[in-house]
Homo-oligomer: A and B are copies of this chain.
Amino acid sequence: MPKKGMLIVLSGPSGAGKGTLCNLLLRKRPELTLSVSVTTRPPRPGEVHGVNYFFTDRENFEKMIKKGEFLEWARVYHNYYGTPRRFVEEQLKAGKDVILEIDIQGARQVKENCPDAVFIFILPPDIEELKNRIKKRGSETEESFNLRIKSAEEELKAISYYDYAVVNDDLEAAVEKLESIIIAERCKVYRNMDLIQLKRREGINI
């Protein structure tokens, strides 16, 4: 049986740049598996079904909630987002480290369900930069923009239950920090009880 994989939760306020960081991380660490979320929001230009998200309608999403098919789900503004539970559990069981790139509501649910997941909070360099990034998306009305800013401030308070904080002020440096966090977590003693068992078989009595 392979060693169980780690669940790595990459989260932070909307506009902190966690999507970009996540993509760079996956490019540098192809052994990581990205969990693809289900959403009811319409695809943005360039987004591909099954790669960026599984796009579905509200009726079907609510059916999946009732059936307990989500590891976490959240309603953000007028849309649902959720992580299909079975996919993640199968990957972990196969020894794969799985990345969840999710919002803070979702991360809170994962914290309750999977306390030994690794929680990484992506911080924007500053609030002005956060505003600029949200503006640059170009898909926001003024109302939804203000809602996002207020929500981002609220969400930053959640940092206290995360394990790590990474400031996204330099993409390359931030990705290196994420890589280091993953390598370090793989060295955690409590994740290596199999290693210690192996040592015992080799003749060390522990």
Q: Take A123-B199, A183-B176, A183-B180 as given contacts and tell me if A156 and B189 are in contact as well, using a CB distance cutoff of 8 Å.
A: no
A97 to chain B, nearest CB (A): 14
Q: Which of A29-51 contact B (CB under 8 A)?
A: none
Q: Take A176-B183, A180-B180 as given contacts and tell me if A189 and B202 are in contact as well, using a CB distance cutoff of 8 Å.
A: no
What count of chain A residues pass the 8 Å CB interface test? 37
Q: Which of A80-133 contact B (CB under 8 A)?
A: 120-121, 123, 126-128
Measured in the bound complex, the distance between the Cα atoms of B199 and A128 in whole Å is 11
Is A195 touching B165 in the complex (CB atoms < 8 A)? Answer: yes
Q: Take A176-B183, A181-B184, A199-B126 as given contacts and tell me if A189 and B160 are in contact as well, using a CB distance cutoff of 8 Å.
A: yes
Measured in the bound complex, the distance between the Cα atoms of B200 and A96 in whole Å is 37
Q: Which of A190-206 contact B (CB under 8 A)?
A: 192, 195-196, 199, 202-206
Contact partners of A156 in chain B: CB under 8 A: 199, 204-206
Contact partners of A195 in chain B: CB under 8 A: 123, 165, 167
Measured in the bound complex, the distance between the Cα atoms of B196 and A159 in whole Å is 9
A6 to chain B, nearest CB (A): 13
Q: Take A127-B204, A192-B165, A202-B127 as given contacts and tell me if A181 and B187 are in contact as well, using a CB distance cutoff of 8 Å.
A: yes
Q: Which residues on A are within 8 Å of B, measured CB to CB?
A: 120-121, 123, 126-128, 153, 156-157, 159-160, 162-167, 176-177, 179-181, 183-185, 187-189, 192, 195-196, 199, 202-206
Give 7 nearest A-B pairs by CB, closest first: A184-B184, A180-B183, A180-B180, A156-B206, A164-B187, A181-B184, A127-B203
